[in-house]
Structure 1
Amino acid sequence: MLQLPESPCMRKLVSVEDAYELCRQITAKYSKTFYLGTLLMNQQKRRAIWAIYVWCRRTDELVDGPAAEFTTPETLELWEKQLEALFAFQPLEDPDVALVDTIQRFGLDIQPFRDMIAGQQMDLYRSRYETFEDLNLYCYRVAGTVGLMSTTVMGVDSRCNTASWSQQKIPDPTPEAVTLGIANQLTNILRDVGEDARRGRIYLPLAELASFDYTEQDLFKGVIDERWRELMRFQIRRTQEYYRQAEKGIGYLAPDARWPVLASLMLYSQILLEIERNDYDVFKKRAYVSGFKKLRYLPMAWLRSQVL
């Protein structure tokens, strides 16, 4: 069972600079595509995003990591208490030092972090989702929340705040940020169907499997036939629509945040095309975007970001 770490008064924690460097290393190791996008941000913003990413990863690993079998509801309750300590500016572990600094600099709200923990709680007792509405709630909690956390760091276009005399509503990018998080999670689900199946989990809505006459047994056997291809085409089209909706909010962000966010969106959505190129075999092949393709998309993303 998770226990709260000893007080920092009893154990000296690393400096703020070292904590951010630790977060950078973890982000670069475990999420290469995401990390590449953060390098396009200014230093203050990318370091904040690394700190947020590491907390999210640590939260996810409580349920999906090497020690997940020992995680209980009480484990997550203790993790939430540790979260509350962070928002009281009391870091308990080395990576926390960076997140506390980020919380102070950007005034982050604790609720998206709490919602993410609630998403991990869903993974403790659910291995199936009957409808897309059920799955959408899960996707919001484990990934849409990241959009809320990140938007606070990215900031909005300051020109939107100078038009107080206008009757026009000030644009708010947070709904699109949530949508982008959900799109990323749906992409993860499609990419990881085989991996999740080996753990006894099915995230694709059961009602949608049934509508394509594809069974749980077919999925566990890794059956790839026209039923499966049609089901995956349907899933990919919907996820692509989420990306299209998310892109509409990028123009509301602060100008220096548009290129990295758009680049990340473009790069991550390419995983869907790789799934198609693999003939929808997500059981034996892992869809990924090569380093060459990632670099090729960066100038394209920059050009598009200039006209948003």
Structure 2
Amino acid sequence: MADPWRASGKQDRANGVGPLVAADLLSRVSRSFYLSLRVLPAQVRPQISLAYLLARASDTVADTGAVARERRLELLRRMREGDFSSLAELAPGQALPAERLLLEKLDEAAAGLSKLEAADQDLVRGLLRTIVSGQIFDLEKFSGGRIAALAGDNELDRYAYLVAGCVGEFWTKMCALHLPRWPRGDQEEMVRLGVRFGKGLQLINILRDLASDLRIGRCYLPVSEPERFLDASQYPVLRPVYERWLGEATEHLEAGWRYALMIPRSLWRVRLACIWPNWIGLETLAALRRSNPLDPAQRVKISRSKVYLILARSLFYGVRG
């Protein structure tokens, strides 16, 4: 069977994205999300892939230790306004070759963005503004020194929207713009479910990375005295809060499942692109329930064999379910 990614190269170039979205770079920087990008229809793959790479670049800027926090904030504020011109200066300081290459090629991505159709540009730029706003909030909230925690449920919910929930909204609007068979009966409901889906995936990241985040001064769960949870034996104290957010993440993924089933079977590529992270997320939540999330030695990771099993099982629901 021909590789659908390679077959769409002409379409990618026509949309102005160019070789930056080549599968080799995307597979190195996007980890599991690469699977969803790869299977998308050619009408939306270039735009969504470009948006992903720009957001991934901003994430690299936010997390890099190559420059001081104030410089990172300055660069992120420029990115939020659409200025990518200074980011290449960070490339030599990146330990990961893929992130270094991404920053080196960012001017090419910016050029690709300017060649998209106006409506696509608006969606990509709007998404990037929202995500970068979340990353700026992150850097300002966790400024170093003592471990800080988010102030309450609303702050965590807002943060989850800024860095991930907005992706579900973007995805829905981009598909509605370019896919004639996209369901149009209740776009507001699809946007709402898409936002919840994205929030759920972000909550999984937060719940999975709790121990490592605490060790760099960050606690995304709204708790008092977060420094006490550096001690893994304190998990019984945290458990009620942690399990409540496990439940919240599960409910968001259930909304994501409803989102996937609203997509018609004829758009099986988009269905699969939604089903894969949903099922991998549910497997991750099940594993988190069996672990001590405060113990950095117990960090949950879904095995490659289990991912392959999920891919195989999902074909029924993508095409026939």
TM-score range for the pair, normalised by the shorter chain length:
0.7 to 0.9
Distance 2:295 2:42 in 1: 36
Deviates more, 1:174-183 or 1:93-102: 93-102
| Partner residue in 1 for 2:293 | 280
Question: How far apart are residue 72 of structure 1 and its match?
Answer: 4.8
Question: How far apart are residue 133 of structure 1 and its match?
Answer: 0.6
| Partner residue in 2 for 1:88 | none
| Partner residue in 1 for 2:192 | 175
**Structure 1 residues without counterparts, runs of 5 or longer:** 1-14, 86-90, 162-167
Distance 1:203 1:47 in 2: 32
Change (3 A) 1:169 1:275: closer
**Structure 2 residues without counterparts, runs of 5 or longer:** 1-15, 86-104, 143-148
Change (3 A) 1:160 1:154: closer
| Partner residue in 2 for 1:82 | 82
3-state SS of the aligned residue for 1:288? coil
Deviation digits for residues 133-168 of structure 1 (CA, Å, limit 9, x no counterpart):
11111111111122222223333673744xxxxxx7
Quick check: which one's helix share is greater? 2
| Partner residue in 1 for 2:218 | 201
Distance 1:248 1:68 in 2: 43
Task: Report matched runs for 1:141-290 at 5 Å.
Answer: 141-155=162-176, 158=181, 160-161=183-184, 172-206=189-223, 215-253=225-263, 255-256=267-268, 257-290=270-303
State whether residues 168 and 198 of structure 2, in contact with CA within 8 Å, keep that contact through their aligned partners in structure 1: yes
Change (3 A) 1:236 1:144: same
Distance 1:239 1:291 in 2: 23
Question: How far apart are residue 271 of structure 1 and its match?
Answer: 1.7
Change (3 A) 1:170 1:202: closer
Q: Does 1:295 align with 2:308?
A: yes
3-state SS of the aligned residue for 1:249? helix
State whether residues 17 and 113 of structure 2, in contact with CA within 8 Å, keep that contact through their aligned partners in structure 1: no
Distance 1:66 1:44 in 2: 37
Change (3 A) 1:151 1:297: same
Q: Does 1:138 align with 2:169?
A: no
Q: How large is the RMSD of aligned CA atoms in angstroms?
A: 2.9
Deviates more, 1:229-238 or 1:177-186: 229-238
State whether residues 17 and 109 of structure 2, in contact with CA within 8 Å, keep that contact through their aligned partners in structure 1: no
Question: How far apart are residue 117 of structure 1 and its match?
Answer: 1.8
| Partner residue in 1 for 2:137 | 122
**Percent identity among equivalent residues?**
20
Question: How far apart are residue 187 of structure 1 and its match?
Answer: 0.7
Deviation digits for residues 285-308 of structure 1 (CA, Å, limit 9, x no counterpart):
321111111111123223233466
Question: How far apart are residue 281 of structure 1 and its match?
Answer: 4.6
Change (3 A) 1:225 1:252: closer
When normalised by structure 1's length, the TM-score is 0.77
Distance 1:26 1:222 in 2: 37
State whether residues 44 and 175 of structure 2, in contact with CA within 8 Å, keep that contact through their aligned partners in structure 1: yes
Change (3 A) 1:107 1:99: closer
Change (3 A) 1:66 1:224: same
Distance 2:278 2:192 in 1: 15
State whether residues 280 and 310 of structure 2, in contact with CA within 8 Å, keep that contact through their aligned partners in structure 1: yes
- Paired residues, number: 274
3-state SS of the aligned residue for 2:218? coil
Deviation digits for residues 188-233 of structure 1 (CA, Å, limit 9, x no counterpart):
1111112211111111012xxx5xxxx4232123335423344332
3-state SS of the aligned residue for 1:173? helix
Deviates more, 1:187-196 or 1:277-286: 277-286
State whether residues 148 and 177 of structure 1, in contact with CA within 8 Å, keep that contact through their aligned partners in structure 2: yes
